[in-house]
Amino acid sequence: MKTLYREFIVATLFILLSSMVVAFLLANLVYFTFTKEKVDGENVMIAEEIVSSMDEQAHGSEKAAESYLETIAKLGYQIVLVNENGNRTPFGEAFTDTSLSDEAVQTVLNGEVYHGMRTFSDRFLMMSHFSNKLENTVGVPFKMDGGSYGLFLRPTNKMLFSDMHMVIAGFVAAIAIVSILGVVLMTRKLIRPITQLTEATKAVANENYDYELSISREDELGQLAQSFHTMQRQLSQNDEARKTFINNVSHDFQSPLMNIQGYAELLQSGHFNQEDYKEYASIIDREARHLSSLTNQLLLLTSLDQASYSLKRRKVCINQQLREVIRKTQWLLEEKGIELSYQLEECYTAADEELLLNVWENLLSNAIKYTNEGGRIQIMCRANQGFVEVLIKDTGIGISKENMEKIFDRFYRVDEARKKKDGTGLGLSIVKEIIELHEGKIELESSIGEGSTFKVTLPAQVAQNKM
C-alpha cells in the first residue's frame, strides 16, 4: 500500500535526482560550448612553453631533454615524447590507454599541432575531461639535434582535482546527504500528526468520540487537528442528542399507544356502563390526537432540518395572521375565562406564510394552556426600526430561570408542562427553528407565578431575491 511518507520521500529524491540530471546537462552544455576549447588552448600554450624552455636548457642533447621532461612531469603532467621513427618515451604517471592513431602522430611530426583535448569525446560527456588516455592530450612539434619530435601532454587528474575542487565536491556531497536526511526527518515529523488523525478518524467511525489527539502545532496541521477536535466534540453532542431524541420519541409514542391499547381492550371486554364507554372512547380519541399532533410535528421538524429546505416566501401581513389565530382559539379563551387584549399595527414581512402561522398558533396555544382560568393574555404587533416585533404576554404559571435556558430544546418539558397530557415538548423548538430560518430571533422573559412574555423579531424588509 502506498503511504504519504513513502510518496513524499520518493518525490523529494526524484526532484533531487532530476535537479542533478538537469545540472549535469547544463554543465555539459557549458563545457562543450566554452570550456573544452579553452582548456585545449591553454594546454597547447603550456606544451609550447615546455618545448621552448627545453631548447634553451637541453642545447640539442636528447639526454638533457629527457631529464628536463622528467622534471616537468613531476610538476603534475603526463608526457609522451615521439621521435620521427615513431618511438615513444613516456614521462610521469602512465596512461591507462596508450593507443594513438598514426595519423595524429604524423600530423605533429609534420609540424602541426594536435588538438586531442578538443576533439576527444567520451560516453560520459563532460567526464572526458578527466579521461586518462593518450588520445586526450595536446601535441606540439619541435626540432632537436636535427630530428623531428612530437610532445604529447596533458595534466594529471590529481592536478585537475585540486584541493579546492575536493573541498567543493565534499561540500556538495555533504549538502546532498544532509538534505536527504533532513527531508526524511521532516517528512516523518509531518506525517506523524496525519497518522494520528487517521487513527482518530477510524475511532470516530466506530463511534468512539473520546479519542485523544496529542497534536500541538500552530501550522495548518495544527489547525486541521483543532478542526477535527471541534468536529469530534460536535459529533459526540449530535450522537447524544440523537439517542436522547430516539428515547424521547419512543417514550412519547409508547405512552399513548399503551393507553389506546389498554382502553381498547376494556371496550372489547364489554364490562362497562354507558359513562365508562364515553370516558374510554374520549381517552382513546385524545391519545390518538396526541399521536397525530406528535407525528405532524416530527415531520415538520424533519423538513426544517433539511439543509435544502426551501422557504416559500411571499409578502405576509402579520397582524392579519394574528387576528386569524385569535379567532381560531376564541372558544378556548371563553372556555377558560381568559381575558385577551391585543394591539396590532399593520406590519409586513417576507416569509413562508404557512410556517409563520404555525409560530403564532404554537405561542398562543402555549399561553392559553399554561394560563389559569380568569387570567389575561396580551398580544402586540408593531414596527420598530426596520423590524417587526410581536409580543405575546400571559399571566400563567411562568418558567424558572434554569428551565428558560432549555425551553427551546426538543422534547424538553418542565414539570408543570409534563402534567399536560397533550404536550409533546416540540412546539417551542419548532417555533425557534422557523424564526431562525426567517433570519429572526425569539426571546423569553418569565417569572414563576407571574407569567411569561415571548418576543419575536423579524425583518420588516427582505432583499429582493428573497421575496
**Beta-carbon count within 10 A of 10 CB:** 11
Q: Is it the case that residue 428 has pLDDT exceeding 80?
A: yes
The pLDDT assigned to 253 comes to 75
Dihedral angle sign, alpha carbons of residues 153, 157, 158, 164: positive
The radius of gyration of the chain's CA atoms, rounded to the nearest angstrom, is 50
Domain 4-161 CATH class label: alpha beta
Q: Which CATH superfamily is domain 310-466 in?
A: Histidine kinase-like ATPase, C-terminal domain (3.30.565.10)
Average pLDDT over residues 308-335: 86
Please give the Cα distance from 93 to 365 (Å, whole number).
Answer: 112
pLDDT band of residue 419 (cuts 50, 70, 90) is very low
Please give the Cα distance from 161 to 129 (Å, whole number).
Answer: 11
pLDDT band of residue 309 (cuts 50, 70, 90) is low
Q: Is it the case that residue 417 has pLDDT exceeding 50?
A: no
Which class for 32: exposed (0-12), middle (13-18), buried (19 or more C-beta within 10 A)?
Answer: middle
The pLDDT assigned to 162 comes to 60
- Reported as type and span, the H/E element at residue 403 is helix 401-404
**H helix runs in 148-219, sequence order:** 157-160, 163-205
Average pLDDT over residues 338-347: 92
What spatial distance separates the first Cα and last Cα of the chain, rounded to whole Å? 55
pLDDT band of residue 123 (cuts 50, 70, 90) is low
Of 429, 444, 349, 465, give the one whose Cα is nearest residue 392: 444
In DSSP terms, 348 is beta-bridged to: 317
Mean pLDDT is lowest, of 230-244, 284-298, 300-314, 425-439, for 300-314
The pLDDT assigned to 462 comes to 45
245-301 pLDDT per residue, tens:
777 667 667 777 888 888 888 888 877 778 878 888 888 888 888 778 777 767 777
> Is 204-309 a CATH 1.10.10.10 domain?
no
pTM of the predicted model as reported, rounded to 2 decimal places: 0.48
Indicate the domain borders of the chain.
4-161, 204-309, 310-466
Q: Is it the case that residue 43 has pLDDT exceeding 80?
A: yes
391-408 pLDDT per residue, tens:
999 998 888 887 777 787
**Beta-carbon count within 10 A of 59 CB:** 11
- Which residue has 634553451 as its cell numbers? 56
